[in-house]
A and B are shown apart, each in its own frame.
Chain A
Amino acid sequence: AQKITQTQPGMFVQEKEAVTLDCTYDTSDQSYGLFWYKQPSSGEMIFLIYQGSYDEQNATEGRYSLNFQKARKSANLVISASQLGDSAMYFCAMREGPLGSGNTGKLIFGQGTTLQVKP
């Protein structure tokens, strides 16, 4: 079964508008972490934002925020005021279980969403 699901293969957004990229996850662990990465066409994997399962506040980092709905097991990325440079592939990833006790922190990735920002 897919642990991380990103249902939007591709998205378009107008420059300066906000966009939400969906991510749902499946885990039976109470402690886990959710990451979002950006992968431009050049290929590097850029860390954007992190949300721990016990964090009560939604994570924010500049124009990025994470809409964390634990009961729904969703961790959507919201990008405000889109810029042309935001055009890229976006991956949602999960670390299952708490770190330590044999859990090394490896990440499981979703299939990714390609975002294109229109001028």
Chain B
Amino acid sequence: AAGVIQSPRHLIKEKRETATLKCYPISRHDTVYWYQQGPGQDPQFLISFYEKMQSDKGSIPDRFSAQQFSDYHSELNMSSLELGDSALYFCASSPAFQEGEQYFGPGTRLTVT
């Protein structure tokens, strides 16, 4: 079965630009999570969606927004990019209320110059 798909895999942007990261969850997974992993850091939870509604919010900057669409894919929009936003951004998906299942995509490596 296909895993979580993220695009693009690599992205280079300049300061103050915007970026959009996309995530396509595993089929029949209706919950999507976004995590940010800075260099040498552990992943930090940003935001999650269940059935197209935001379900939880973590340490996500106000410059970032996200949504989940009717086909369950999700997009993370990042504006006014800063050097500190350079990180690996993971999307993960799970079926709602299924313990023990949270699968990560390959990540999008964002570099802000």
Contacts and interface: CB of A to CB of B under 8 A. Distances in A.
Contacts of A47: 102-104
A33 B100 contact: yes
Contact of A43 (B35, B45, B107): B107
B24 to A, nearest CB: 15
Given A104-B31, A108-B45, A43 B94 contact: no
B56 interface: yes
Interface string B70-113: 00000000000000000010101010111111111111010000
Contacts of A46: 104
Contact of B88 (A33, A43, A104, A110): A43
A46 B107 CA distance: 11
Contacts of A112: 42
Nearest to B44: A109
Interface residues of A, number: 23
A45 B100 CA distance: 15
B43 interface: yes
Residue picked from A44, A105, A111, most chain B C-beta under 10 Å: A105
A50 B100 contact: yes
Interface in B31-66: 31, 33, 35, 42-45, 48, 50, 55-56, 58
Given A43-B109, A91-B42, A104-B55, 10 more contacts: A43-B88, A45-B43, A45-B92, A47-B102, A50-B101, A95-B102, A99-B96, A104-B31, A107-B45, A112-B42
28 contacts: A33-B99, A43-B106, A43-B109, A45-B43, A45-B90, A45-B92, A45-B104, A46-B104, A47-B104, A52-B100, A91-B42, A91-B43, A99-B96, A99-B99, A100-B97, A104-B48, A104-B50, A105-B48, A105-B102, A106-B56, A107-B35, A107-B43, A107-B45, A107-B92, A108-B45, A109-B42, A109-B43, A112-B42
Interface of A: 33, 35, 37, 43-47, 50, 52, 91, 95, 99-100, 104-112
**Considering the complex of A and B, which 6 residue pairs feature the smallest CB-CB distances, nearest first?**
A50-B100, A45-B104, A109-B42, A104-B56, A104-B55, A106-B45
